[in-house]
Amino acid sequence: MSDHQKHQPGNDEIERLYGVHTVGEALKNPKRKFIKLLATKNAADRLAAEIAQARITIEPVLPRELDRLLGPEAVHQGLVLDCKPLRQPRLDEIPREGIVVLLDQVTDPHNVGAIMRSCAAFGVTALVATARHSPEASGVLLKSASGAYEHVPFTKVTNLSRAMAELRDYGFLLVGLDSEAAEDIGDARLSRPVALVLGAEGKGLRRLTRDTCDTVVRLDMPGLIKSLNVSNAAAIALYALHRSGGSPSEKAQA
C-alpha cells in the first residue's frame, strides 16, 4: 500500500491519520475504534476537548519524532492517530437519494481528498471509486480530505460501468462532467437523485463511461482556459447542483 498507512509489517488493519482537522474529526466520530494517539503538548492542548470526549490516552512525542515517523513532507501539526479502518458501505447500502459522486480513474490522493471535502460540504450521499485505479485511504488522502473522510461514505466497486447501471436501476440520473459537452450544467434540467461522474486528471471521462451516462454537461467558463483540475471542477459542479435542486435535508425543512 502507500505512503504512511502501512508503515510496518502486519499493520494491514490500521488507518493512520495526521493533522489537526483530520484527527479532530476522527476523535469526534463514535464509529471510530482508536489504537493510539501520538501528540505534542501544544497539539494535545489544541484538541483537549476532542481527546477528552474520545477517552483516549495520549502518547507524548516531540515534533521531530513525528517527522521521522511520517517523513519530511507530511504536515502533521503535532498529531498522529492510528485507528481501525472505518467500514464503508457497499453500493446497494447507500441511500438512494440526493447526490452521489463517481470517480472515473481519478488517481491523485490530493484530488480525491479535496473532492471528498467538497462532498462533505454539499451533503453528498457517497463518493464512489473503483477498487483499482484509485487511491487507498492513505495519509495523504485523509489529510487532503481534512476530516471529510469521517462524514462521506467512500464506496469501492469493481467495475464503474456496472456500478453506474446499478445506480440507474436505483433511480439515479447519471450525469457526466465534460468540458466538451454542449449543455451547461446550470441550464440542464436534472432530476434527483443524481450520480455525478468525474473523469481522471488530464484524460477526462473514458469513452465507455461517457457513453453510459444519461447526459453529459459542462461548466460554463467565459475565460480562455476551458478546463479545471478535477477537484476544482467537482466543487463548482456540486455548487451548481446544490443551487438547482438543494439537498434532501433542505427540502425537508422547506
Q: What is the mean pLDDT of residues 215-242?
A: 91
Amino acid code (one letter) for 3: D
Domains of the chain, with CATH numbers?
Answer: 15-83 (3.30.1330.30), 91-249 (3.40.1280.10)
Measure the CA–CA gap between 201 and 156, rounded to whole angstroms. Answer: 19
Measure the CA–CA gap between 24 and 48, rounded to whole angstroms. Answer: 10
Per-residue pLDDT reduced to its tens digit, 99-131: 999 999 999 999 999 999 999 999 999 999 998
Question: pTM for the full model?
Answer: 0.86
Measure the CA–CA gap between 150 and 157, rounded to whole angstroms. Answer: 20
Per-residue pLDDT reduced to its tens digit, 79-101: 999 999 999 999 999 999 999 99
Measure the CA–CA gap between 129 and 248, rounded to whole angstroms. Answer: 23
Q: What is the mean pLDDT of residues 185-214?
A: 93
HEC string of 204-229?
Answer: ECCHHHHHHCCEEEECCCCCCCCCCC
Exposure on the CB side of residue 62, measured as CA atoms within 13 A? 3
Average of per-residue pLDDT values in the chain: 89
Q: How many H-runs (helices) and E-runs (strands) does the chain carry?
A: 10, 11
Residue 163 clears pLDDT 50, i.e. is over it: yes
Residues of the chain with pLDDT > 90: what percent? 76
